[in-house]
């Protein structure tokens, strides 16, 4: 875990793949940005405490979108503190209408709980985090309620899952619709116009070369548009790793039947791979075994990716 003071009293906390990175603003009324995955809440709480903030004093949580790895602590923290929760208005709509499909929770079989969003955000809003003013920029594509936060004075971008250093986040066209890739392209172009000296992404370490991250991402999205198989493969690979992180480990003999019971696995194979479920499964697992990303110990599968 890396804790890093990015502006006075505002800490960046780097996690792994299961838990998104998050931020703590230390004060008598602390503010949090994103809250990890629900099953790792104890660790999230420990890290928030370590940054000098008390859960029961939290005044506001800002979420960059409602995916399970960003909102996992919301319910408990709101219960203990009565804090406000700010989300893009599309995400507030998902919470108000109990839409666990658009949030991906049901689609990918993830654990998450609804919470009360008290502050709907819009593109162009300015959020005060103590003395630090961040612009809210709406960035649909990966998630239809996605936002990034930009501090123009210090040229800092909290890019969530809209911009990673060397990869793009999962693109789920079955939920987000066929326009998602185009929306992502537009968002990346929007980010290109910003003056940025440091990027704090939703997963992975901070980085300063936004130009190269943007061209990597744009190239990858173009690649997805030209070759649907690449998009399908990337999706299945990422969600298989994510599933193993959620479950910690999985009996090998039960893994394929489990996947066949989920909504996403069959739909993705239907969409990109002519419904060749077992062939695709074996193909992807073999690649993972060869690369050492997934291992088999006493008949149980686990991944070496950090949660």
Stretch that binds Fe ion, among 27-35, 66-74, 174-182, 288-296 (CB under 5 A): 66-74
Closest distance of CB 20 from Fe ion, Å: 7
Tell me if 151 contacts Fe ion by CB under 5 A: no
Please identify which residue in 10, 34, 45, 67 interacts with Fe ion, judged by CB under 5 A.
67
Angle between helices 252-261 and 263-272 in degrees, nearest 10? 80
Report the residue number whose CB is nearest to Fe ion: 67
Per rule CB under 5 A, count of chain residues that contact Fe ion:
2
**174 vs 267: CA distance, rounded Å:** 8
Strand order across the beta sheet in which 300-303 lies: 250-251, 300-303, 294-297
Assess 145 for contact with Fe ion (CB under 5 A): no
What minimum distance in Å lies between the beta carbon of 171 and Fe ion?
A: 10
**Residue 49 or 166 with smaller CB distance to Fe ion:** 166
161 in contact with Fe ion (CB under 5 A) = yes
Taking the C-alpha atoms of residue 289 and residue 292, their distance in angstroms, rounded to an integer, is 5
User: Closest distance between Fe ion and the C-beta of residue 263, in Å?
Assistant: 18
The Cα 71–Cα 237 span in angstroms is 23
User: Minimum CB separation from Fe ion for residue 279, in Å?
Assistant: 29
User: At a CB cut-off of 8 Å and minimum separation 6, what does 226 contact?
Assistant: none
Candidate ranges 26-34, 61-69, 105-113, 126-134; the one touching Fe ion (CB under 5 A) = 61-69
Residue 104 Cβ, how far from Fe ion at the closest point, in Å?
8
The length of the chain, given as a count of residues: 307
Dihedral of the CA atoms 86, 87, 90, 91 (nearest 10)?
Answer: -110
Shortest distance, position 211 Cβ to Fe ion, whole Å: 23
Closest CB to Fe ion among 161 and 234? 161
Mark 186-199 as b/e (b = at least 16 C-beta within 10 Å): ebbeebeebebebb
Q: Is 131 helix (H, G, I), strand (E, B) or coil?
A: coil
Give the binding site for Fe ion (CB under 5 A): 67, 161
């Amino acid at each position: 875990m890396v804790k890093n003071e990015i502006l006075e009293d505002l800490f960046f906390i780097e996690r792994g793949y299961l838990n998104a990175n998050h931020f703590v603003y230390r004060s008598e009324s602390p503010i949090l940005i994103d809250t990890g995955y629900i099953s790792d809440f104890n660790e999230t709480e420990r890290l928030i405490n370590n940054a000098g903030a008390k859960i029961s004093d939290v005044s506001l949580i800002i979420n960059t979108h409602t995916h399970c790895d960003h909102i996992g602590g919301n319910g408990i923290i709101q219960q203990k503190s009565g804090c406000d929760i700010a989300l893009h208005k599309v995400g507030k709509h998902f919470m108000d209408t109990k839409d666990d499909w658009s949030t991906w929770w049901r689609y990918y079989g993830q654990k998450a709980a609804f919470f009360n969003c008290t502050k709907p955000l819009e593109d162009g809003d300015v959020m005060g985090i103590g003395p630090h003013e961040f612009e809210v920029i709406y960035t649909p594509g990966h998630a239809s309620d996605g936002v990034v936060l930009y501090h123009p004075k210090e040229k800092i971008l909290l890019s969530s899952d809209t911009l990673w250093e060397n990869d793009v986040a999962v693109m789920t066209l079955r939920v987000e619709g066929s326009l998602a890739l185009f929306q992502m392209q537009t968002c990346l172009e929007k980010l290109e116009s910003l003056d940025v000296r440091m990027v704090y992404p939703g997963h992975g370490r901070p980085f300063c070369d936004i130009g190269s991250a943007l061209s990597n991402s744009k190239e990858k999205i173009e690649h997805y548009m030209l070759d649907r198989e690449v998009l399908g493969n990337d999706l299945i690979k990422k969600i298989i790793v994510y599933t193993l992180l959620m479950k910690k480990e999985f009996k090998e003999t039960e893994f394929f039947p489990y996947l066949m019971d989920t909504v996403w696995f069959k739909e993705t194979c239907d969409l990109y791979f002519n419904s060749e479920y077992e062939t695709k499964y074996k193909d992807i697992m073999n690649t993972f075994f060869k690369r050492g990303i997934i291992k088999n110990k006493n008949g149980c599968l686990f991944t070496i990716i950090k949660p």
